[in-house]
């Protein structure tokens, strides 16, 4: 096109992009100004629930419930921390990193590049969200390095879409694993599930959450919808901004690897540290243990627990990093990312302790029962979980708070309990699209700020929200009570 001439189509697209950018910047500026850190929400929620609990129980009961509940999720806190750490360890192992490099070379168009990252993020998040969070960001960075026509902001947003769609519906979904793992679930919540012996174990297995055909269908629908949205929101080559245009230097991101290891094997201790012998033996024994455990389980699905999943990723990480030295370095690099979970989870456990120990869960459950029925309960819970997720950005700790009264209400309305967990998961994941808490690890790897990507994730949120509400309503009517 000659200089000075502007295509009407080009002008229209540019105007739309400018509006979307302004909306994203305004929303991010507002959230950065008015929304405090997630830990502050944990403290405010503690004080709020403490005050409300005082209206239904004596002070000593409230205090005892809080103090007792505070420490009841220590095993679960460690389990969630290991999901994050083992995900990072796997993503930075050299064989996995080389695979990512090969994958990054596949897309030839800018929109194809963004779509590839989005699909990769969604599929890997179903298996392990911690692994997906890190490895998808690395893939986006490598794609951006090789495809200068792709919009780097859209690539970054695409790498996070697994967290904003089906991560909670998958094998590492916090609520799913809590409900099927005895030590990850508070006794009071197990009593709510059991409802006088209706479900004797007080647990809900993955066959009633993750592997319901209704849940699997929601995953497929979300993949298709998000894929279409990503293809639509990826800027054309004319309007794309690559990393260079954003003043981001894409230096080489290296896999965890010990350089000059042969020069370090001088003493027996160093020989063991840099030798693969111990890793091979321990990793092999660990995988053998898992095979025996799964063989003895009543079914493959029932053998998938939070501990077994973490154990599997730990053993694979040990084998892929090859030497103890590389594994130790990977763990050291990963541990700063778990401080938030370690600090906040005890406070959320204390909140759950007050809710169940004072009978407050019965009061809140009564409210939900009063405003809903078997059909409307699911969309109401999905909306509620999304809103609460903006302020409590942690699927596991938020479920600890919600579970007592949500499951009580589900019993009263005779709604399938496993489906209630799935409904919660769908709402919880949506909140991540408009809450930048879990974007932090991604943005650190990519060198961006939240305002660079939230315009894109907000578009996905607006499309997925009505779709989720329709799915939870229609599919919920196909399930019996209680499981």
pLDDT tens-digit series, residues 292-308? 888 887 766 667 776 78
pLDDT of res. 256:
55
- What dihedral do alpha carbons 363, 368, 374, 378 form, nearest 10°? -130
φ and ψ at residue 128, rounded to 5 degrees: -160, 110
pLDDT bin (cut points 50, 70, 90) of residue 250 is confident
Mean pLDDT throughout 169-187? 85
**Which of 144-153, 298-307, 433-442 bottoms out in mean pLDDT, i.e. has the lowest?**
298-307
Asked if residue 483 is part of any domain, the answer here is no
Asked if residue 23 is part of any domain, the answer here is no
Number of compact structural domains in the chain: 1
Question: 132 with 162: CB under 8 angstroms?
Answer: yes
pLDDT bin (cut points 50, 70, 90) of residue 319 is very high
pLDDT of res. 37:
66
Asked if residue 26 is part of any domain, the answer here is no
Mean pLDDT throughout 381-408? 80
Question: 359 with 57: CB under 8 angstroms?
Answer: yes
Q: Say if residue 322's pLDDT is above 50.
A: yes
pTM: 0.76
How many Å is the maximal CA-CA distance in the chain? 80
Mean pLDDT throughout 48-70? 90
Asked if residue 17 is part of any domain, the answer here is no
**Which of 118-127, 223-232, 408-417, 433-442 bottoms out in mean pLDDT, i.e. has the lowest?**
433-442
Q: How much of the chain is helix, strand and coil, in % rounded to 5? A: 75, 0, 25
Domain that holds residue 390: 35-247+261-476
φ and ψ at residue 232, rounded to 5 degrees: -80, -40
Distance CA 469, CA 455 (A): 22
pLDDT bin (cut points 50, 70, 90) of residue 215 is very high
pLDDT bin (cut points 50, 70, 90) of residue 265 is low
Asked if residue 384 is part of any domain, the answer here is yes
pLDDT bin (cut points 50, 70, 90) of residue 38 is low
Q: Say if residue 187's pLDDT is above 80.
A: yes
pLDDT bin (cut points 50, 70, 90) of residue 3 is very low
Mean pLDDT throughout 101-105? 91
pLDDT of res. 338:
77
Q: Say if residue 98's pLDDT is above 60.
A: yes
Percent of the chain whose pLDDT exceeds 90: 27
Distances (CA, A) of 76 to 218, 284, 342: 27, 26, 10
Judged on CB neighbours under 10 Å (0-12, 13-18, 19+), 269 is: exposed
pLDDT of res. 298:
73
Asked if residue 22 is part of any domain, the answer here is no
**Which of 248-257, 400-409, 451-460 bottoms out in mean pLDDT, i.e. has the lowest?**
248-257
For the packed helices 94-104 and 129-146, what is the interaxial angle rounded to 10 degrees? 50
Distance CA 289, CA 278 (A): 16
pLDDT of res. 7:
34
Question: Nearest-CA neighbor of 467 among 430, 436, 416?
Answer: 430
For the record, the structure tokens of 383 come out as 């909306």
Q: Please tell me what DSSP assigns to residue 447.
A: T
Q: Say if residue 425's pLDDT is above 50.
A: yes
Question: 129 with 167: CB under 8 angstroms?
Answer: yes
Q: Please tell me what DSSP assigns to residue 182.
A: G
Residue recorded with tokens 């000659």? 2
Q: Say if residue 118's pLDDT is above 90.
A: yes
Mean pLDDT throughout 410-427? 94
pLDDT of res. 422:
95
Mean pLDDT of the chain: 82
Asked if residue 198 is part of any domain, the answer here is yes
Indicate the SS3 state at residue 396: helix
Answer with the residue of higher pLDDT: 427 or 334. Answer: 427
């Amino acid at each position: 096109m000659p200089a000075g001439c502007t295509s009407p189509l080009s002008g229209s697209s540019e105007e739309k992009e400018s509006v979307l950018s302004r909306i994203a910047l305004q929303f991010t500026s507002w959230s950065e100004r008015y929304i405090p850190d997630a830990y502050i929400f944990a403290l405010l929620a503690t004080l709020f629930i403490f005050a409300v609990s005082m209206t239904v129980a004596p002070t000593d009961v409230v205090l005892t419930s809080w103090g007792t509940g505070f420490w009841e999720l220590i095993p679960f806190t460690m389990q969630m921390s290991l999901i994050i750490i083992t995900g990072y360890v796997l993503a930075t192992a050299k064989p996995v990193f080389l695979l990512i490099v090969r994958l990054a070379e596949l897309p030839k168009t800018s929109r194809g590049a963004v779509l590839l990252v989005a699909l990769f993020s969604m599929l890997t998040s179903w298996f392990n969200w911690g692994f997906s969070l890190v490895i998808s960001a690395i893939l986006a960075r490598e794609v951006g390095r090789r495809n200068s026509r792709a919009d780097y902001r859209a690539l970054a947003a695409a790498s996070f879409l697994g967290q904003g769609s089906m991560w909670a519906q998958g094998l590492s979904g916090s609520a799913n694993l809590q409900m099927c793992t005895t030590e990850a679930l508070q006794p009071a919540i197990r009593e709510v599930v059991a409802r006088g012996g209706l479900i004797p174990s007080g647990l809900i297995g993955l066959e009633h959450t993750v592997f319901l055909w209704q849940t699997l269908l929601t995953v497929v629908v979300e993949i298709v919808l998000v894929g279409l949205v990503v293809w639509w929101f990826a800027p054309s080559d004319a309007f794309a901004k690559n990393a260079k245009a954003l003043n981001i230097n894409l230096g080489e991101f290296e896999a965890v690897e010990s350089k000059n290891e042969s020069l370090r094997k001088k003493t027996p201790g160093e020989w063991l540290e840099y030798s693969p012998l111990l890793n091979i033996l321990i990793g092999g024994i660990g995988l053998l243990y898992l095979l025996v455990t799964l063989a003895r389980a009543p079914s493959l699905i029932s053998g998938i627990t939070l501990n077994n999943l973490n154990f599997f990723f730990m053993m694979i990480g040990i084998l892929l990093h090859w030497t103890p030295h590389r594994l130790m370095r990977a763990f050291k690099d990963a541990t700063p990312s778990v401080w938030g979970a370690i600090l906040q989870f005890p406070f959320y456990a204390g909140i759950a302790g007050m809710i169940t120990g004072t009978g407050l869960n019965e009061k809140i459950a009564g409210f939900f029962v009063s405003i809903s029925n078997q059909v409307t309960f699911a969309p109401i819970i999905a909306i509620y979980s999304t809103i609460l997720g903006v302020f409590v950005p942690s699927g596991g700790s938020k479920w600890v708070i919600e579970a007592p009264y949500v499951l009580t209400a589900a019993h009263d309305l005779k709604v399938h309990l496993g489906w209630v967990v799935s409904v919660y998961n769908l709402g919880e994941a949506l909140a991540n699209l408009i809450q930048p808490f879990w974007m932090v690890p991604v943005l650190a790897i990519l060198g961006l700020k939240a305002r660079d990507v939230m315009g894109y994730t907000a578009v996905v949120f607006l499309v997925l929200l009505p779709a989720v509400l329709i799915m939870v309503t229609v599919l919920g009517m196909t399930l019996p009570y209680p499981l």
